[in-house]
Structure formats: structure tokens, C-alpha cells
Amino acid sequence: MSKAQWQNWIERSFFKIFSEENKKVIERITINISIAGFIIHLLLILGKNYDLFHSPMDNLLLADPISAIYTPFSIILIYEIYLLIHYLPRSFTTSVSKQFEIISLIVIRRIFADIPHIELSASWFSSTNNLQLIYDLLGILILFFLIYLFNKSRRQIAPSQITKNLRRFVNSKRAISLVLLPVLILTSAYTLFSWIQTQFFSPSVITSFELNAIFYNEFFTILILADVFILLLSFQYTERYSQLIRNTGFVICTILIRLSFATSGLTNIALIVSSVIFGLLVLRIYQVTEYLDKKI
């Protein structure tokens, strides 16, 4: 197969798999599964309250009906990651914007999981759970505003003209998306299987983990590798210093998000916010550099 045939095959395969029709089908499936998951979670909470079963997750996700919101959010987040893979070939800025939106949704999901554990009887600031809720609430407000600024700046970037080199680069990113999709499916299925096995079939196993890091820890590690690979590919198609620094900066943003899963409390929120701030500053400096280059 020649290079031209290979490029055409990748392009056809990408638009066939990531078509708007398939996207709408997956969206409908996601909504239906989210509703079903919410109902099942509520039934599990009801069964636990009547001592029909016990799980190591009793005190985390089965303590209060509010915790049931965690399940549909988790399913919606899987769909958001599908969109991330879908938008990956468009541009680095679009991809990193979707990453910021995903991590903000993860923080919101954690809020719903933590609300049932608020200690109203104790001194508010002496409770770790209460402090975590404050960190998350303030963090999501800051993230919401920063992501708004990032997307506003991103829309001001004029689209690049389609050249032969750019088409090859975009097709290379489409090939990475085609690889990432089965990785997403296999990783999410393996994580779900392992979680169900641990919680319901190995009750004697007491696990210690950060609940929000499940699956996303592994996926963002894979995403970092994909971003680095795309960064290396970009060196073949551009020699502009500002563009290379921008792309490298966005890879650092992904690394900061990945590091946040290994932390908790204020450090977790600080790493997430610093990732968005760093990405916003990199984008703004890139835009100023491009403007000055054009004037010269």
C-alpha cells in the first residue's frame, strides 16, 4: 500500500467510525445507560439499607441516595472521553480544552460523592471531608472561569490553511484516535470488571484507593503518551518555535492533570487549576507571538 493509499484509508476509516451519525447513536446510548445506572445505584443503596448485601464501598457510594448521582456522571464522563478522542485530530488547543472540561466534570462528580460525608455536627474547618468540599467548590468555580477564558482565546485563532504536510499530520492524529478508541473500550471494560470483582466477589479484600482516580489514572497516562507522540510528529511538519512551545506546553498540562490523581485535598485542586492556568498562559503568549510575527 502506497503512502497516498494509506492516507486515504486512515481518512475514510476515521470519518466512518467517528461520523456524526455514530456520535448521535453513542450519545443516545450514553443517556439511556446513565438513567439505568442511576436507578440501579438507587436500588443498591436501598438493598444495602435493608442489609441484603455488603460491600467495601458501603461508606463511599452506598451511604446516601445523593451518592447515586455519581454513577450517571461516571457514564457521561466516558462519553466525554470519546469526544476527546473524536476531537483529537482537530488541534492541540481543542484537545486540551476537552481535557480541561473532563477534569472539571471529575471534580463535580467528586462533590456529589463527598456531600453525604459532610460532618455538620463537628466544627466545620476541623473536618477533612468538609475542607475537601470547600476546596472542590472553590476549585470548580475557578476552573469554570479559566476554561471559559481558554475557550474564548482558542476561538480567536484563525484556522490553518490545508496543505499537503498539514493533511498528513492530521491523518497521523486520526490514526492515533483510531488506536485510542479500542484502548478506551478495553481499559474501561477491564476497570469495570476489576471493580465489580473486588467489591462484590472478593469482600475480604480491603482496597485503599482514590475513588476518582479509577480508570482516569490509566487513561491519562495513555493520553500523555499519545500527546508526546503527536508532539514528536509535529516536528516533521512545522519549524515554528512558537507552535512547538505551545504544543509542548499543552503536553505539560496533561501531565499536571495526571499528577493530580496521585494527590488529594488542596494539592489535588491546586494541580488541576495550575494545569488550566499554565495552558491559558501558554495560549495567550502564543497568540501574542503570532500577532507580532505577522506585523514583522
pLDDT for the residue 279: 96
**Residue 264: which residues within 8 A CB-CB, separation 6 or more?**
132, 210
Angle between helical axes of 216-237 and 70-87 (0-180°, round to 10): 10
pLDDT average, residue stretch 271-279: 96
What confidence score (pLDDT) does residue 53 get? Answer: 66
Q: Which amino acid is at 29?
A: I
What does the alpha-carbon distance between residue 202 and residue 141 come to, in Å, rounded to a whole number? Answer: 39
Name the residue among 223, 252, 269, 274 with its Cα closest to residue 108.
269
More confident residue, 184 or 197: 184
Using a pLDDT cut of 70, give the percent of the chain over it: 87
Q: Are 26 and 169 in contact (CB under 8 A)?
A: no
pLDDT greater at residue 1 or residue 187: 187
- Cα of first residue to Cα of last residue in the chain, in angstroms, is 44
Which is higher by pLDDT, 199 or 155? 155
Read off the pTM: 0.85
CA distances from 121 to 65, 66, 127, 137 (A): 20, 19, 10, 20
Spatial CA neighbour of 236 closest among 170, 192, 153, 296:
170
Average pLDDT over residues 88-96: 88
Which of the two residues, 118 and 19, has the higher pLDDT score? Answer: 19
